Amino acid sequence: MRSARRMWMAGALALLIGLGAGVRANAADDALYRSLGGEEGIARIVDGMLDRAYADDRIKKKFDGVNPKALKESIRKQFCQLTGGPCVYDGETMVKSHAHLGLDKADFNALVEDLQFAMDDQQVPFAVQNRLLSLLAPMHRDIITR
């Protein structure tokens, strides 16, 4: 069941990417932010995702030399702002921060899978996971460089 669900989510993400879904949370609409557990919930999700990514044989080398604490803080702020929370993401653009990494679709998909597992670990409902993924999917254009 979990495998079928994960395959469906991967397919849905691919569809969103293909369509270029550009849904953005409105600052006045913090429902997704609240559904993810606010700053604390988002921090747990980001921690789980990056802890997995740093140990994920498929992509861990992409994180060589990257400070995990700083990366977690940056992504936490980005997710918080993107979902309608009160945070302000002041980091680099996705293009600039990923240009030198030579990431491909497999790298992107591996990190998405690590994010999905982190959300599962935090018992984030399926519909809420899909809402976050739909906000992140358009970033593939700026992250995948090969």
Contact 65, 122 (CB under 8 A): no
For residue range 47-62, list pLDDT tens digits in order. Answer: 999 999 999 999 999 9
Distance between CA atoms of residues 47 and 80, nearest Å: 14
- Domains of the chain plus CATH, in order, are 2-20+27-143 (1.10.490.10)
pLDDT over 70 (residue 20): no
Q: What mean pLDDT is predicted for residues 128-134?
A: 96
Q: Where is pLDDT greater, at 9 or 89?
A: 89
Q: What is the pLDDT of residue 23?
A: 41
pLDDT in tens, 72-106: 999 999 999 999 999 999 988 888 888 778 788 99
On the CB side of 136, CA atoms within 13 Å amount to 22
